[in-house]
């Protein structure tokens, strides 16, 4: 409804909150991972695997905020196709290909866990580019409408 500046400000605010919350919660869970997993299982091997996964994935979990916030912002602007394609290609297709490549010779929990931050980074990058392109397109369109009026 003509509130593009406000929408961009809201997107930036959500992104800041999402990244900050992800960093804080990741730090807490990295530090308290043993206790967090102990709630669900007291088996030392399960806790060890869980802490390994946390150690690999959680330091980069803040990337997930970019893909979710930008995807939601793009959908809110009426573009649901681009976020769907970006997520489908990166999270489904690329993740499967990378998982196959990293585990084709030896399957380790570290290799499986590493796939997640890799695809989060790729998806976040693609989503950021898609969001910026959508903003530029909208800005040009709005300028052309204003000039014609």
Contact partners, residue 120, CB within 8 Å, separation at least 6: 60, 61, 63, 64, 67
Residues in the chain: 149
What tens digit of pLDDT does each residue of 50-87 get?
Answer: 999 999 999 999 999 999 999 999 999 899 999 999 99
Question: Which of the four pLDDT bands, split at 50, 70 and 90, describes residue 146?
Answer: confident
pLDDT at 144 over 90: no
Structure pTM?
0.87
> Which of 88, 98, 97 is closest to 126 using CA atoms?
88
Task: Using alpha carbons, list the distances in angstroms from residue 72 to 66, 101, 103, 105.
Answer: 10, 31, 32, 38
Question: Which of the four pLDDT bands, split at 50, 70 and 90, describes residue 95?
Answer: very high
Count the alpha carbons within 13 Å of 127 in the hemisphere toward its beta carbon: 28
The encoded tokens of residue 126 equal 């693609």
The rounded mean pLDDT for the chain is: 92
């Amino acid at each position: 409804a003509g509130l593009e500046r406000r929408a961009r400000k809201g997107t930036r605010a959500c992104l800041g909150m999402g990244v900050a919350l992800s960093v804080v919660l990741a730090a807490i869970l990295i530090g308290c991972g043993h206790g967090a997993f102990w709630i669900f299982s007291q088996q030392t091997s399960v806790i060890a695997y869980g802490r390994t996964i946390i150690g690999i994935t959680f330091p980069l979990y803040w990337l997930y905020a970019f893909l979710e916030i930008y995807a939601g912002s793009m959908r809110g602007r009426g573009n649901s196709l681009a976020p769907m394609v970006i997520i489908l290609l990166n999270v489904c297709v690329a993740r499967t290909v990378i998982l196959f490549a990293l585990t084709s010779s030896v399957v380790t929990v570290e290799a499986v866990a590493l796939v997640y931050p890799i695809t989060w980074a790729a998806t976040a990058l693609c989503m950021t580019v898609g969001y910026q392109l959508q903003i530029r397109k909208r800005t040009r369109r709005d300028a052309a409408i204003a000039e014609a009026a």
